[in-house]
Amino acid sequence: MSENKPNARPRNADVHQNRNTVATNERTAFDNLGLTKRNADYMFRFNKALESTKLSPDKKAAAVQAMVNELVEGQKSGKTAKNLYGDVASRVKYVVEGPQREAEGKVFGGPDYWPNMVYNALTFFMIFTLLFGVMYLFSPKLMKTSSPVGITAILVSALVAGFLLPIMPRLFDPKIKHRFNGWIRFLLTLVGFAVWMVLFYFAQLLPPAINPVLMPWPSIIVGLLSIAAMIWIRRRYNIRGGFFG
């Protein structure tokens, strides 16, 4: 009688077992970070997908840690990884490639342009009215010995500034696809400032009936009202940066 040979152990069985053990440990590690099961599973899958990219280890670790911190905080208000980041593949692409460049033609316009335009115009209007109001209040002789700036000239300057300032940073934003090269955009910036100065100069040449000079206290009051309007616009349209940032 031939003896029955014991069943041979499948090849690579130990390798598969070790891989499963490592995967289980990695999955458990995210569970121990205070994440919900759903968010921990998302981060586990995201981390595995990120490992196959060419991103440096430091950047991978930083991206994972930042997301974990954001998720732990977001869970308090019921947010999930899917809500915050979309699917895993999209998030990996975002982390590796960065934000997608905006479509051409976004330098001017967009839903946030006009609120920013009004906010910037009010900012300049507030600065000049308060500046001249306080200056003439403490030095009344300046209204006679200098060439005080009229309210129309201030308004024109503020409107042009409000129109130009939201555009200037976008002209050099690398996330926007531009039609012109850097030198042309730089020249456009210089032209914009030149137009600003020219319009202010001619507005200041208008007769006093059209370009009256406000007395100190009315100028200060107008400046304070501008601050109130700025605060309202900032809260209403969630404007970032600038004054009251």
- The confidence score (pLDDT) of residue 232 equals 92
Of 64, 97, 130, the position where a domain reaches its end is 97
Residue among 32, 28, 8 nearest 20 (CA): 28
What pLDDT score does 165 carry? 84
29-38, 107-116, 122-131: the lowest-pLDDT one? 107-116
Q: Which of 25-34, 69-78, 89-98, 126-135 has the highest mean pLDDT?
A: 126-135
pLDDT (average), residues 116-144: 90
Q: Does some domain include residue 222? A: yes
Residue 11 lies in a domain: no
Cα distances from 216 to residues 48, 52, 211, in angstroms, run: 66, 67, 16
pLDDT score recorded for residue 130: 95
| Contact in structure between 173 and 235 (CB atoms under 8 Å) | no
Residue 57 shares a structural domain with residue 173: no
Residue 136 lies in domain: 113-237
3-state secondary structure of 176: strand
The rounded percent of the chain whose pLDDT value lies above 90 is 30
The pLDDT assigned to 111 comes to 65
pTM given for the model: 0.54
Q: Count of domains in the chain?
A: 2
Q: Are residues 203 and 149 in the same domain?
A: yes
Judge whether residue 28 has pLDDT over 80: no
Residue 49 in any domain: the answer is yes
